[in-house]
Structure formats: structure tokens, C-alpha cells
Structure 1
Amino acid sequence: MNQKSRAFALLIGGALALSAFAACAPDSSDGTTEQDAASDVRICYDNLGGGYLDDSVTKASVAGVTVVAGYNAAGTRVDDAFSFSIATYADGVFTAVSAGTVVYRTADGELGTVEVVPAYVTDPGYQYSGGNVDFDESGGEEQLGHTHDPSLIEVQGSDGRPVYYIFSTGWNNRSESVTTGGMTYGNAIHVSYDGMKTWMYLGRTFDWETRDEDFVDTKAGRFLYSEGHTAEDQGFPSGGNGYSASDAGWWAPDIVAKPDGSGYWLYTCVVDGSEYANGRLEGLQLDGESRLYSRACILLYESETLDAGSFKPVMDENGEQYAFVQCSIPRTGESHDVNAIDPQIIFDEDGNMYMAYGSFGSGNYLLELDPATGLRKDGKTQWVTHDQIREYIEGDGGIQDLYVETSDAIGWKHEYYGTNISKQNMEAPVIARHDNVTTMDENGTVLEENKTYFYSMHSYDGLADNYQMWGGRSESVWGIYRTTTDQGIVYNVGPGNGANQGNKYMGAFTWHNKSQGNTELDIILPGHNDLFTTNSGVSVAAYITRQSGNDGNFVTQLHQYYLNSYGQIVINPNRYGGEIDRAVTAEELFAYTDGGKFKMVVSLNQQDTDSGKRAVNTSRDVVLTQDPDDGNSGSIYDGSQASGTPIGTWKMYGDGYIVFRFETTLKGSNGGDSGETVYYGVVRPAWLGDQNRSGFTITCLGQTGSNTRSMSMFMNNYSTMTGSGIVGE
């Protein structure tokens, strides 16, 4: 496919503003949404006719452009030359009419889009089947089955509309072709042409047939399978452990556009494939040693396109592939080590480039890169030996010296591994940047304006035992990343440990009282997520979830996220269905809610799954009532009726913001204590998978006193919406 990269926000890390006064986009003085030329913007039309919308979400000001094409909701080009059936254009203002996309051209020839979506999201048409096919990667499926460790990128298609790609972990059967859908070398690629709702498998970044030589004979292959070992079977692991070089896998990529617009960089990690299998611990056994080692390294590939099979290694002047980070980790014994996996790229507001990565036992790390070359800025791209690696870890001034067993020891630097940004048992760091953040309290007092914040997320615990998404916020890309109260850092001892710190954005949970025949998945072991913002301002968290009761089946899901009035990330608990990010008023919320009833999920510092890999955190019913003298505030009651003593109060303010205050710390469905009495969040439209209909969701993050942990809380309303597409088939 012949597509050019869109430089608008992706080249500086995908950072767009999510402001306290801009639910969709910056407002102009006449109340319309105002955008610069050659940008992408989303507006909405009132598909229920309730009259709750204003011009800030139904109009967009883009002056001096020419409409060139229109596409309806199905993606078909419309005959209307001026696309008035989708949006009218007069006096430099687009006004929403019906679902679709208008493409326009600026005076200098650049293309931009105005996407019109329903104010109340309609059936996205991506329901799960309820069978194993939901977890299948190939065959042109609509879902992201068998897709692990996602990384997103957006490009502009040849017709001006956005196209989205997900790059993910590849699997390790080298005998399959790059495009067959079988397991093979390289990372998997999926594409979406309908705004990230449905996806199609394309192939792999490269495979055995597209390589210049056998992987075992490359520098990376020799490091993984023979460096430091001189036995006759050099090139393969020793010790009779049964795994071999064909077990290598390419994990957890990050795909980014080159800042000069010449193509794409693919940061990925290759791992040796050793594991605990057939009752035996696997790994590389070195001469004269009894312990086994597991190895990985982070590598760089490049391509002018995003086509399957097009990526080639970035080589030095000697024809060897550059190395970013390497590890050689003992398979037994306690060790605060560094694992060379899970690279993620972030740009700061000045265009400086960084890579977060790792790890597990000692936390995650950050290195600065050169945006001109994509390589380490410090020039440390030469391959190192096993002995050098162990010296970096165990020698004087090494990682194990720097690692101090206190929760406030964070932010130290190592000459090879970089700056420590989180601590202990976690992996898969991702950092997102948001500019022009304005914050306010519930009284409407502006606290900060035009701030730039960096947000980190990390996967706590093991991917098959208690994966959860935690993190923090910082004014610097280097950290320190802190909780909503500024009292905690990103620190994980283990499931439910009282010393754990950080913002818990999402853990495993299930909705009770699902609609009849509902096939929506429970959230099971969520983690290894990407944070991504489109050119039109939609921010999504893409993460792995697993089949309830079977952690071997997994799928990637996308959920929209927002910033609450304090500028903290809150994640929509429902899958992204194309819904617009717009403020919802209390009047509108209660107009479409059955008797003020909601389902509520309370996150806890706990093990979120049982031994059978099923969610132990279940939603429960609560009722919100409105104060007769102030419809923007009221009480909250436990149960399905507003009876007895309320457990707290709520108040809506600003652009769809909400605050909850509870009389005592809020409890989960199993009686566990969240430790929270105060939550700040947003109210937004959503496709409610548990009810298979359009409705509203409330998503919050705790901000209580001097807590070092901040817990998320979600609600879905019992929706009464009806109409065309409002209820799923």
C-alpha cells in the first residue's frame, strides 16, 4: 500500500491535549470546534433527538478549504459532490448531519478530514462469537485474537482518511510464510480502515525467507545461543534441556515514524525461548557453571513502508546489527536483574527521543536516543559479552548495588541500562505525553494551565498470574512518576502486598447481570498496553486480556481513555466502539438511565483472579439520586434501590467531570477495602458491552488524602436508550 506518514502528532509521540475545557477539541469564540488547516477533527450529530448537544460538538471551524470527497458510515464514497449528506460546509464551518467522513484540501494541497459520528454510539458490529475463533489471529478476523503486546501507529491513506496499524508479538514457527497467518519469525501486523473498531491480519514484519542469513549465524543469534560457551554444539544451548535456536521469538515491538518522514523504525526484542517445560528448567549452560541463563536483546529494524515482510535490520559500518540493550539472567536464585525486553518510544515536547524498556525484578528503565538515527544517544550500541553483563549487574556500582530495598529508592542511573523509572516486579512500560493540560477542582477553580505531563503505565506481576495496569504521572519524562496524591511512586512487591504503590488503572473484573446471550469477554489479566492518541484526538489504551478460565487464549482490546479534572488518566471500562469524547451533563445522564441505577466496579490492591484464571472482582448495583434543589449533585446508595443511608455523595461539574465522596472507604464486591473515600472522574458516552447497547460510563481514579496507592472505579448506567443501531443485534 502506498501511504504517507502523517506528521501531525505521531512524530512527537502522539501527544495531544486533553484539557479541562476541551472534551473534543479547542473551542473558538463562537462556540464551534476550531481546528488548524489540514488536521483531522471529530464532531457528532444528535441521533436520538434529545436536544442535549451544543455547537462545540456538532460544528467545526476549518476556514478556507475545499471539500473533495465524502464517505458514508460504511466507508463507501457518496455521490454528493459537496458531501452535504454527511456535513454541511458554509462560512468556514462544518456542521454535522450524519455518520461518515468528509475529506477536504487546503490551499497548499494538504488533505484533512472531518469525521462525523453519532453522539450516542451505535452498534460497532464487533461482537465476539463466544468461541475459540475469538482468539484466532488469522483469516481476516475482525477482532485482535492471539495478538499480544500491541503498538499502534496512524498513517494517512491515499484518499486522505486515516489508517491504523497494530504491531505485536510474533510467534516462533519459522516454517510458515510471512503472510499465511502461521507462527513465524518477526512481529505481527494488523490494519484497521474503520477507525480502530475492526481489524485485519496482514502478515509479519519479516520471516525466515526474507532474512539475509540464518538467524543463529547473526550477531544476535550468536549472543543468544553461544556467547560465553565453547562446547562442540556451539550455536545451540547445552545441558540437554531440549530447546534450540528455532525457539527464538520476537516480542513486544514498538513502531514509530521516523522524524524526517522517510519511513518507520521498528524497535523489538528477540528472546531465546527458554522456559520451564516438561518439568525441566531450560536455559543456556555456560562452561564451568551449574546455573542456566536466559537471554534477550533489543534490536532496531526499519522500512520505508508498513508492508508485511518489508523490515530490515539497521546495520553498522561492519555489517553487524546494532544492539540497544542485552541481558543474560540466571534462571534460578533471587536476582534484581534487568531484562532486555519491551521497548517503547516517547518524544518530549522539544523533539528529544527516549526508549522505556524492561524488565521485572528491578523495575523499568529509560534511555535517551538520537532522533536522527534512532540509536542510543550515548553511542553504546556495540555488542557486550556475558561477563560484561554480569559485571553490570553484580559488580561494584552495578544494578544490585544501586537497587536498595526501600520504596523511595528510585530514579538512580546506570551507565549501560539507563535511568530507573519504576521499582521491582513489573514489565512493559509505556509513556504517553499530553500537552496543554488545564486542571480544575470541583468548584471550577483553575489549578494549572497549559501544562505538559508524562504518564507511565506498567504491567505489575506475571502475565499469566495477576497482570494489572498501574502507573503514575510526572512533569518530566525522566520521572519520578507519582500517584494522584503525589505520595506514592510506581512500586510493586507482589499481588496484594501492602507496600505496593502507584495508580491502579485496571485489573481483572466482570460485569454482573449481563444481557441474555451476551458474549462480551470479562477483563482477565489485563496488561502490556500501549497508550496512543490519534490525529483527531482520540486517546486509547490497547492491552491484552485473556479468556476467562483459560489464560492460553488472549486478545487485544482497545479502550478510550480521558483526563479527569485533575489531569489524571481514567480508562473507559468498555471496548472502544467509535464513541466521541464529549462532555455529558447530569440532565442527559439521568434522562437515559433506568431509575438512576448503575453497575459499579471497585478496584482493590489484591489478586484479581482465582486459581482458575477467573475474575474475582465483580460489579454490583448502586443508585445515584439527584438533589431536588441541584440536579448536578446528589447521593449514592448501595443496592438496586435508593433506600436506607446513602454511602456517599456525587457532584458533576465542568465538561462532564464528576467527583464522589464516600462516608467510609469504598469496599469491593468481595468486601475488600479500596482505601479510597474520594474519586475524580468523567462521564462519557460508551458502547456498553455488558448490555449490548449504547449508554454512558463513569470512570474515576481515587485521590484520597496521603494514600500511596490510587484505585480506579468504574460505572455503567442501566441504559434506557432505544433507536436505530442503539441496541445490538
Structure 2
Amino acid sequence: MIIPEKIPKDKLFDETVLDNESLWTTNFVHDPAIIKDGNWYYVFSTDAQFGQTDKAGIQIRKSQDLMNWQWVGRALDDVPKDAEEWTGAKGLWAPEIVKYGNTYYMYYAASQFGKTQSFIGVATSDTIEGPYTDLGEVFKSRQDEEGPNAIDANICFDKDEEPWMVYGSFFGGLYVNKINQETGKLLKYGRGKLIAKRHESVERAIEGPYIVYNPEFDYYYLFVSYDSLFSDYNIRVARSKSIEGPYLDFHDNDMTNTTLPPNDVGLKLLGGYKFNAGDGWVAPGHNSVLKDNDDYYVCHHVRAEKNKRWHYLHIRKIIWTKDGWPLISPERFAGEQDVTVNMADSIGEWELIRVDKNENEQNHALKLKIQDDNHENYWIDLSDNYVTLVMKNKEVTGVISECWDWEKEQKSYVFMGKDLYGTVYLAKKIG
């Protein structure tokens, strides 16, 4: 249920919080990993902040509603010795947090920007908030050696509840290998199997892998981030019947295909965007996915358009198309539930964003008037909030749902859909 008084107001570029971690809330979150533990949601994230030297140890936050976040602390006191000696890293990146039995396992990465002398390690704790004890190396990579860059670990579970680690960044692509949950380390040490890679013409820019299994469609979904985390990051997805791939996009292109134009591979779900009432956001990416009962959420960082040095945590709801593809809400989660939308309420002025696979910096919204007389732009009701939006010679099928309009601070509706060619469209009702 959307309760306006429980929704925090955006306060961007607030330098008064710099010296007080208890006030950070969604500020300075980068590469977030999300997990639910009891009645709390936790996010672990990279050692990154604006305006000061980053403190090492992996940031931890928690929330009971996915909107209001409070600072917990850091999982570790510093970069573990073996990781620091191998990489020279002064901070830790891209954590992952999972639970095997009664023990929490936190995976971390150590590296330096643009280098492949990298290290994935793991630490454990009996409580999710720590303290964590380092267990050392899971996998490491050597500078300029052909193969994966050992960062960005995600632990994914197959349909038999067996854990696997998917990891990698730029350079050699993304790989998956099986984990021994008795140790938290690889069952068989090695790089594993290549499942995604991009061409040198785009600097092989693919990273932040996250795999989730959806039993309704019996597919594994590989979420990845393309391009530069500073400017044009964007989230793509592909799926497979096997956790080891091949992962195919909407057009059945393999995610390892480097012969096609680089932006033609992977279904683009979300990039930089702007509704007319605000400045918008840029570079959403490095996401994790939370499955909470029957609901799915994407958790990612994003940058403010006016000053890209500030990065924030966003949580958005995922809906699934009838043909088994995830779509991401254009508005952040604000407590909305799945309720039947009265189609009469969906008639009026909307803003529509075409998620352009080739324009990743910021897609701008266009105004669209939806009418109820099957004239020009209108809905075809398919039941259960599934609709087809008819626009002249184009049809886009997806879902209408309630939302909180964060730009105007009021309740509204959003639409998420894709056309027959695999292009995603996102829209918000404005009047």
C-alpha cells in the first residue's frame, strides 16, 4: 500500500551528510547486493563515497520497507591482507551476501580501476550485521592474462538449490562456476564457463552479472550492465534453460556473440531517462535482484544527472510479460501492491519513454494522450492489468500498475511493455 507519509523525499547533493554516516541512507550506494533476513532487507555495497577518501570494509544498510534505509556499518575493518598484497587495492568492491545453513557468506572483490590483477574473496559471520571473518581467496586473476577479471561475484542458486558463482568484468567476459557451500569456495578451482562477452570496439564493456531463476517460466535470467558506470551504464537481460548457458536475448542472440553490433545483443531494460517534471537519472546499473515471496525487485545504483559524482540506491519492482521476460518499473518502489487497475483511470495524459538500445545516456519522455474511443492512442484490455498500447502503426504489450510519482510526489500509474521487435517502452500517467 502506498502511504505518502512513509515515502522519503529526495534530497540530492546534500553535503551536510558527508561526515555523518548515520545520515547516508541511500547516498553513496554503489554495486548493491540485496538480501532479506527475517523482517529486514539488507544492502551491502562498494567502498565508495563523494568528497572524501573511501573507507574500506564494505558498506551495510538495512530497511523494513525498501524505502527508508539506515546505516549499519562495515562488514570488515580493512582490505584483507591477501587481497591487498595481490591487488594493491585500498578498498573493496561489488560485494555479494548469501546464507548457507546458519552462516552468512559475504563475497568481495579487490582490484584497481582498469586493471585485471584482481581478487575475489569471502568472509563469514554468524549474524548478518557481522563482524565478518575473512576466509581468503575464492578466485584471482593476473594482470594481462587472457581470461576473466576476478571481480563482481554473484551467487546464484539453480533449481536444485545448488550455489554457483557468476563473475567477471570487461576484458575477458563473464563466467560461471559451481560453489561448494560447505566452504563457500569453488567446488573445482578455475575460471568456469564463459557465458557473456562484448567486442573490443566497445572496450568489452559488460560487467555486474546477476543470475536469478524464475520457476514460473523455468528460465535462468542473466542481468548485466553495459558501458561506462560514469555516464551510460544500462541494464540488459538474457535467459537460458541451463545455469551454464547459453544465454539468449529476445532475438535468440547468444550473449557471447561478438560479431553482431554490440548494442544488438541483450534485451535493454533500463538506461538513463528523464520525465518532463525532473532532471532524471543516468547510468543505472550493477543490479541485484530480490525475490520476496511472489514479488521481484531490482536493486541498483544510479547517478544524478546534474552531478554524476553523486550515486544513490534505487529499488524498483519487476513485472513479467506473458512470454517470460522481466520489465522494470520507471518509478522507484513506494509500497505499491498488485491491485486491479480500473481502465477508466488509465485514460488521459501520459509520458512515454522509448528505451533506445543505442542511446544509453538519457532517454527523454514524450507526451502521449490515451483516449477511450479506439482513436489514435488507446489501450486494449487483456485482463489482470495486462494491456496492449496501440499507437498508430505500433503495438506495445505490457502491464499497468499503481506507482508513486517521485517527481511530482503524488500517486499515479505506470506502464511497462515491449513491442514485437523487442524494444521496451516505459510510461507514467501525468493527468
Q: Same fold (TM over 0.5)?
A: yes
Q: Residues 638-670 of structure 1: CA distance to partner in whole angstroms, max 9, x if unpaired?
A: xxxxxxxxxxx6422131112235555xxxxxx
Deviation at 1:274, TM superposition (A): 5.3
Give the counterpart of 1:365 among 150, 156, 175.
175
Opposite residue 301 of structure 1, the aligned amino acid is A
Describe the SS at the equivalent of 2:346: helix
1:451-496 per-residue CA deviation (whole Å, 9 max, x = no partner) reads 32221110001211321101112222222222234x32336879x9
Q: Look up the SS of the partner of 1:626 in the other structure.
A: coil
The one-letter code matched in structure 1 to 2:168 is: G
> Where do residues 689-704 of structure 1 align in structure 2 (5 Å cutoff)?
689-704=406-421
Structure 1 counterpart of 2:197: 423
Q: Using a 3 Å threshold, how does the CA distance of structure 1 residues 358 and 294 change in structure 2: closer, same or farther?
A: closer
Q: Residue 185 in 1 paired to residue 6 in 2?
A: no
Q: How does 1:473-552 map to 2 (within 5 A)?
A: 473-485=239-251, 487-490=252-255, 497=261, 500-512=264-276, 514=277, 522-535=280-293, 537-552=294-309
| Alpha-carbon distance between aligned partners in 1 of 2:258 and 2:279, rounded to the nearest angstrom | 29
Structure 2 CA distance for partners of 1:197 and 1:465, relative to 1, 3 Å: closer
Structure 1 match to 2:370: 624
Letter in 2 for 1:544: H
Cα shift readout 1:501-525 (whole Å, capped 9, x = no counterpart): 111000111001x1xxxxx662211
Q: Judging changes above 3 Å, is the alpha-carbon distance between structure 1 residues 166 and 712 closer, same or farther for their aligned structure 2 residues?
A: same
Distance 1:538 1:274, change over 3 A: closer
Residues paired across the two proteins, number: 424
Structure 1 residue 329 corresponds to structure 2 residue 170: no
Output one character per residue of 1:340-389: Cα deviation in whole Å (capped at 9) or x when no partner. Answer: 110001111211111111111332111111233322111x2xxxxxxxxx
Counterpart code for 2:404? W
CA distance in 2, matches of 1:274, 1:653: 48
Determine if contact 2:231/2:282 at 8 Å carries over to the other structure: no
Are the aligned partners of 2:17 and 2:23 in contact in 1 as well (CA < 8 Å)? no
The structural deviation recorded for 1:186 is: 1.3
- Cα distance in structure 2, aligned partners of 1:479 and 1:301: 28
Residue 54 of structure 2 contacts residue 91 of structure 2 at CA under 8 Å; is this kept in 1?
Answer: no
Residue in 2 that maps onto 1:569: 326
Seq. identity, %: 22
Query: What amino acid sits opposite 1:264 in the alignment?
Result: Y
Aligned residue identity for 2:194? N
SS at match of 2:388: strand
1:602 maps to 354
Alpha-carbon RMSD = 2.7
The TM-score normalised by the length of structure 1 is: 0.55
1:607-628 alpha-carbon deviations (Å, 9 max, x no partner):
432xxxxx3x21011111223x
Paired residue for 1:153, among 35, 41, 52? 35
Instruction: Spell out the pairing of 1:48-67 with structure 2 (5 A cutoff).
Output: none
Could you say if the C-alpha distance between residues 579 and 526 of structure 1 is closer, same or farther in structure 2, counting changes exceeding 3 Å?
A: same
Q: String of CA shifts for 1:677-707, please: whole Å, max 9, x gaps.
A: 4432111110011221001100113332xxx
Q: For residues 626 and 532 of structure 1, what CA distance do their matches in structure 2 show?
A: 37
Secondary structure, aligned partner of 1:222: helix
2:222 is equivalent to residue 456 of structure 1: yes
- What is the alpha-carbon distance in structure 2 between the residues aligned to residue 499 and residue 564 of structure 1? 22
Corresponding residue for 2:158?
348
Shift of 1:134: 9.2
Q: Does 1:203 align with 2:73?
A: yes
Is 1:467 matched up with 2:184?
no
TM-score normalised to the size of structure 2?
Answer: 0.90
* Cα separation, 2, equivalents of 1:497 and 1:312: 45
Cα deviation, residue 306, structure 1: 1.7
**Shift in CA distance, 483/661, structure 1 to aligned 2, threshold 3 Å:** farther
- Residue 718 of structure 1 aligns with an amino acid whose one-letter code is I
Alignment-derived partner of residue 423 in structure 2 = 711
Q: Are residues 498 and 252 of structure 1, via their aligned partners in 2, closer, same or farther at CA, if it must alter by over 3 Å? A: closer
Partner Cα distance (1:143, 1:130) in 2: 12
1:326–1:635 Cα change, 3 Å: farther
Residues 718 and 198 (structure 1 numbering): CA distance in 2 closer, same or farther, change over 3 Å?
Answer: same
Return the match for 2:383 from 640, 654, 666: 654
Change (3 A) 1:548 1:684: same
Q: Which is higher, the Rg of structure 1 or of structure 2?
A: 1
Q: Is the contact between residue 357 and residue 429 of structure 1 (CA under 8 Å) also seen in structure 2?
A: yes
Q: Report the equivalent of 2:213.
A: 433
1:267 positional shift: 1.1
- 1:484 and 1:654, CA in 2 relative to 1: closer, same or farther beyond 3 A? farther
Q: Take 2:212 and 2:388, find their aligned partners in 1: how far apart are those partners?
A: 25
Identify the match of residue 311 of structure 1 among 132, 136, 143.
Answer: 132
Among 80, 94, 97, the residue aligned to 1:252: 94
Is residue 2:59 matched to residue 1:219?
A: no
SS in 2 for 1:206: coil
